[in-house]
Structure 1
Amino acid sequence: MPKPYLLARPSGLYVRFRVPRDLVPRLGFGSIVRSLHGLRGDAARLSAALQGVALSEAFARLRKGAGMADVDVKKLLESAQRAAEDGSLREWTATGVRVGGVDFGTVTTTGRRDTLDFIETMKAAAEMAREGLPMVFPSAALAAPVAMPALSALQGEPAPLLSVEIANHVADLEQRELSPDTITESKHSLRLLLGIVGDLPVDQIKAKHLRAFWEGVRWWPALATVKPKYRRLSVAETIAKGKEENVPVPSRHTRNKHRQRLSVFFNALVNMDVIPRSPLKGMGSEIDTGTELETGRPFTPEELKQIFAPEHFVPWAKHLPHRWWGPILGLYTGARVNEVAQLYIDDVRQVDGVWGLFVWKKDRNQKVKTKSSIRFIPLAQPVLDAGFLEFVEDMRKTGHPRLFPHLPAGTRKDGKPNGLGYGRQLSRQFSVYLRQFGIEKGTAFHAFRHTLATALAEALVPTSTIALITGHASKVSVSVLETHYIHIADVKTLPERSVALAKFRPEITIQSYGCCQFEKSMMEPSSLHL
Structure 2
Amino acid sequence: MALSEAFDLLRRGRTLDIYETLKAAQSTAIRELTFERERLTDGTVRERWQVDNDDDARRLKAIIQSESPRIEDIGAFPPHLLAEANAPRLSERIETFLGDMRLAERSQTNLDDTIYTLHLFLELTGDKPLHRLTTDDVRAFLRAMEVYPSNASKKKVFRGLTPKEILAKAQREDHPRLSMRTKDKHKDRLAAFLNAQVAEDLLTKSPHKAILNRDKSKTDAPSREPFSPEELAALFDSEAFPKWAAKYPHRWWGTILGVATGARLNELAQLYVDDVRLEAGHFGIHIRASREGQRLKNAHSSRFVPLPSSVLGAGFMTFVEDLRRAGCERLFPHLPFSQANGFGDAMGDQFRAFAIKQGLTGRLKSFHCFRHNVTNGLINEHGVAIHTTQEITGHDLSLPSGLKHYVNPGTIPNRVMALEAYGPPVPLPTYKAGQFDASFKQLKHMDKRRQRATKKRQVSRSKASD
TM-score (structure 1 length as normaliser): 0.66
Show the counterpart of 1:22: none
Distance of aligned partners of 1:345 and 1:189 in 2 relative to their CA distance in 1, 3 Å threshold: same
Show the counterpart of 1:453: 375
How many Å separate the matches in 2 of 1:288 and 1:362?
40
1:205-220 matched pairs, under 5 angstroms:
205-220=133-148
Given the alignment of the two structures, is residue 136 of structure 1 paired with residue 59 of structure 2, yes or no?
no
Distance of aligned partners of 1:95 and 1:397 in 2 relative to their CA distance in 1, 3 Å threshold: farther
Amino acid corresponding to residue 136 of structure 1 in structure 2: A
1:474-493 matched pairs, under 5 angstroms:
474-476=397-399, 488-493=406-411
Given the alignment of the two structures, is residue 304 of structure 1 paired with residue 232 of structure 2, yes or no?
yes
Q: Using the TM superposition, name which of 457-466 and 323-332 deviates more.
A: 457-466
Given the alignment of the two structures, is residue 105 of structure 1 paired with residue 54 of structure 2, yes or no?
no
Distance of aligned partners of 1:324 and 1:472 in 2 relative to their CA distance in 1, 3 Å threshold: same
One of 416, 435, 441 as aligned partner of 1:498: 416
1:213-362 matched pairs, under 5 angstroms:
213-243=141-171, 244-245=173-174, 247-248=176-177, 250-251=179-180, 253-283=181-211, 286-287=213-214, 295-362=223-290
Higher helix share: 2
Higher RCO (C-alpha 8 Å, min separation 6): 2
SS state of the match for residue 179, structure 2? Answer: coil
One of 72, 80, 92 as aligned partner of 1:123: 72
How many Å separate the matches in 2 of 1:250 and 1:300?
24
How many Å separate the matches in 2 of 1:455 and 1:427?
22
* Deviations, residues 485-512 of structure 1 (Å, cap 9, x unaligned): x961222221111111111235543222
Structure 1 position 290, deviation (Å): 8.9
Show the counterpart of 1:192: 120
SS state of the match for residue 377, structure 1? Answer: strand
Show the counterpart of 1:511: 429
Distance of aligned partners of 1:283 and 1:184 in 2 relative to their CA distance in 1, 3 Å threshold: same
How many Å separate the matches in 2 of 1:440 and 1:272?
48
Show the counterpart of 2:353: 432
Structure 1 position 454, deviation (Å): 2.5
* Deviations, residues 431-489 of structure 1 (Å, cap 9, x unaligned): 1111222112320211222222233221222333222222222225889xx9xxx9612
How many Å separate the matches in 1 of 2:372 and 2:204?
46
How many Å separate the matches in 2 of 1:298 and 1:120?
67
TM-score (structure 2 length as normaliser): 0.74
Distance of aligned partners of 1:270 and 1:453 in 2 relative to their CA distance in 1, 3 Å threshold: closer
Identical residues among aligned pairs (%): 34
One of 388, 394, 419 as aligned partner of 1:471: 394
Distance of aligned partners of 1:354 and 1:524 in 2 relative to their CA distance in 1, 3 Å threshold: farther
* Deviations, residues 145-191 of structure 1 (Å, cap 9, x unaligned): xxxxx652326863133223323332333344322112111111111
Amino acid corresponding to residue 491 of structure 1 in structure 2: P
Distance of aligned partners of 1:462 and 1:471 in 2 relative to their CA distance in 1, 3 Å threshold: same
How many Å separate the matches in 1 of 2:424 and 2:195?
50
Show the counterpart of 1:25: none
Q: Could you list the runs of 5+ residues in structure 1 that have no partner in the other structure? A: 1-92, 98-103, 109-118, 126-134, 138-149, 411-416
Distance of aligned partners of 1:96 and 1:177 in 2 relative to their CA distance in 1, 3 Å threshold: farther
SS state of the match for residue 354, structure 2? Answer: helix
Show the counterpart of 2:336: 408
One of 102, 107, 111 as aligned partner of 1:183: 111
Distance of aligned partners of 1:106 and 1:205 in 2 relative to their CA distance in 1, 3 Å threshold: farther
How many Å separate the matches in 2 of 1:399 and 1:515?
15
Distance of aligned partners of 1:375 and 1:248 in 2 relative to their CA distance in 1, 3 Å threshold: same
SS state of the match for residue 283, structure 2? Answer: strand
SS state of the match for residue 123, structure 2? Answer: helix
Show the counterpart of 1:395: 323
Structure 1 position 347, deviation (Å): 1.2
In the alignment, is the contact (CA less than 8 A) between 1:105 and 1:160 conserved in 2? Answer: no
How many Å separate the matches in 2 of 1:360 and 1:197?
41
Structure 1 position 225, deviation (Å): 2.6
Structure 1 position 365, deviation (Å): 2.0
How many Å separate the matches in 2 of 1:523 and 1:476?
47
In the alignment, is the contact (CA less than 8 A) between 1:341 and 1:422 conserved in 2? Answer: yes
Given the alignment of the two structures, is residue 382 of structure 1 paired with residue 310 of structure 2, yes or no?
yes
Q: Indicate the RMSD between aligned Cα atoms, in angstroms.
A: 3.2
How many Å separate the matches in 1 of 2:346 and 2:401?
29
1:416-427 matched pairs, under 5 angstroms:
417-418=339-340, 420-427=341-348
How many Å separate the matches in 2 of 1:385 and 1:178?
39
One of 93, 112, 117 as aligned partner of 1:165: 93
Structure 1 position 361, deviation (Å): 1.7
In the alignment, is the contact (CA less than 8 A) between 2:259 and 2:424 conserved in 1? Answer: no
In the alignment, is the contact (CA less than 8 A) between 2:300 and 2:394 conserved in 1? Answer: yes
The count of aligned residue pairs is 387
How many Å separate the matches in 1 of 2:262 and 2:399?
19
How many Å separate the matches in 1 of 2:123 and 2:84?
28
Amino acid corresponding to residue 245 of structure 1 in structure 2: D
Amino acid corresponding to residue 105 of structure 1 in structure 2: K
In the alignment, is the contact (CA less than 8 A) between 1:94 and 1:106 conserved in 2? Answer: no
Amino acid corresponding to residue 309 of structure 1 in structure 2: D
Distance of aligned partners of 1:275 and 1:158 in 2 relative to their CA distance in 1, 3 Å threshold: farther
How many Å separate the matches in 2 of 1:181 and 1:351?
33
Structure 1 position 209, deviation (Å): 0.9
Structure 1 position 273, deviation (Å): 4.5
